[in-house]
Structure 1
Amino acid sequence: MKKKLKIKNETKELTLDETLKQFEKFIYHISQRYKQYEFDEMVQVANLATVKAYKKYDISKNIEFSTYLGVVITNDLNYYHRHAKKHNKNISLNESVNIESNNDHNLELMDLIKGNENVEDSIEKIIEKEELKKLVNKLDFKEKKIIYGLFYKERTQYEVGKQLGITQPQVSRMKNKILVKLNMQLMSNGKVDL
Structure 2
Amino acid sequence: MKNVANATNYLDIDTKELFRLYSSDKSNKDIRDILIERHLYLVNLLAKKYINKGVEFDDIYQVASLALIYAIDRYDIEKGYEFSSFATPTIIGEIKKYFRDKVWTLRVPRRIQELSKKISEAKVILEQKNKKHPKVKDIANYIGCTEEDVLEAMEASYGYQPISLDSSNNDDSEDKDITLIDKIGKEESSFGNIEQMDFVNKFIENLNELEVKIFKDRFFLDKTQSAIAKELDISQMTVSRLERKIVEKLRKEYEKNL
| TM norm structure 1 | 0.47
Q: Which is strand-richer, 1 or 2? A: 1
Compare relative contact order (CA 8 Å, sep 6+) and give the higher one, 1 or 2. 1
* Bigger radius of gyration among the two: 2
| TM norm structure 2 | 0.36
Q: Which is helix-richer, 1 or 2? A: 2
